[in-house]
Amino acid sequence: MESNQLTAKTVTFRILRYKPNRIDPPQYQDFSFQVEPDMSVLDALEKIRLEQDNSLMYRHSCHHSSCGTCACKINGKECLTCITKISDLKNDTITLSPLEGFKPIADLVVDMTRFFKDYSEGYSYLRPSEKIKSTRRPEGIKHFTRFENCIECGACISACPVTHNSNAFIGPAVLAAVNNELKKSPQKTADLLSLAGSRRGARMCESAVNCSRVCPNKVYPAKQIADLRRLLKTMHKGSTMDRPAR
C-alpha cells in the first residue's frame, strides 16, 4: 500500500537556476511530476532534463557514491543526489541548490578549482585495508589496500562556516588529507605539519563540526583537524622546552 501511495505522489523540485548573462541573478524554478518508489534525487534530475528542460545543468558520473561529482544542497544540507532517496526526504517540495563556497558555473554546477588548489599530487590515495577476516589473501600478497574514504565531493567545504568568510582557509578536506598522509608518509612530517600549522591551516577552524556531519563517506574532517591540533600543540610545547633559557 505504501509503495502505491508513493508511486502516485507528485513531488515538486525547486531548483536554483543560474546561467551567466541569461538567468542572473539566480532564481528558483519548479518542476513537478509523479515519483517512483525507489527514485533518487539524481534520477529526478535526469527525468527533468530529459522530459522537461534539457538546459538543466548538474554533475553526475558513477551513480553509487564513489565519485562525489553529484554533490549539492538538498533542502539546505549538503548531500549526494545519487544516494539520496526521494522517499527518505518525506517532502512534497524538494529544494536543490549548488554547493556554497565555490564559484557558480551554471545551475547546480560549481567550479571545483578551490577544492584542489591545496592538494598535493604527492598525496597517496591508497591506504591499508582494514582487516577482512573472510577474505584469504593471494600468495605473495601481504596485505590489501583500498582507496581513501574521501571522494572529493566538496560537501565539507560548502558546510564549513570559515570557508564562507575567508578564501585563505585551506579547508577541512585538505587538512583531513594531511592528517591521513602523516600516518602513511612519516618522511613528509615536517612539510605536512608546516602546512597544517600555517596561518591558513588548522588554527582557522572554528570547530563547528559541520564538515563531519555532511561527509557522505565518514572521513570525519573535524576529528582529523582536532588530531592535527593536538599534534601541533605537543610539538610546540616540545620546542619551547628545548629552547635554551636566556
Pair (129, 198) in one structural domain? yes
pLDDT of 32: 97
Beta strands across the sheet bearing 23-34: 23-34, 10-19, 93-97, 71-74, 77-80
Instruction: Give helix 189-196 / helix 172-184 axis angle, nearest 10°.
Output: 160
Model confidence pLDDT, tens digit, residues 108-145:
999 999 888 888 888 888 887 776 766 677 777 777 77
CA dihedral 96, 100, 105, 109 (to 10 degrees): -40
CATH for 223 = 1.10.1060.10
User: Does residue 206 sit in the same domain as residue 100?
Assistant: no
pLDDT at 98: 98
Give yes or no: residues 121 and 226 share one domain: yes
Residue 201 is part of which domain span?
114-242
- Residue-wise pLDDT for 67-102, tens only, equals 999 999 999 999 999 999 999 998 999 999 999 999
Residue 94 · residue 14 · CB < 8 Å: yes
Residue with more model confidence, 220 or 119: 220
Do 106 and 163 lie in a common domain? no
pTM assigned to the model? 0.86
Domain boundary among 111, 133, 165: 111
Provide the grid cell at 123.
598525496
Rounded to whole angstroms, the Cα distance separating 173 from 19 reads 28
> Would you give the distance in Å from CA 182 to the centre of its chain?
21
The total of structural domains in the chain comes to: 2
C-alpha cell at 121: 599530487
Q: Hunting for cell 531548483 — which residue is that?
A: 15
| The residue count for the chain | 246
Residue 245: the pLDDT is 46
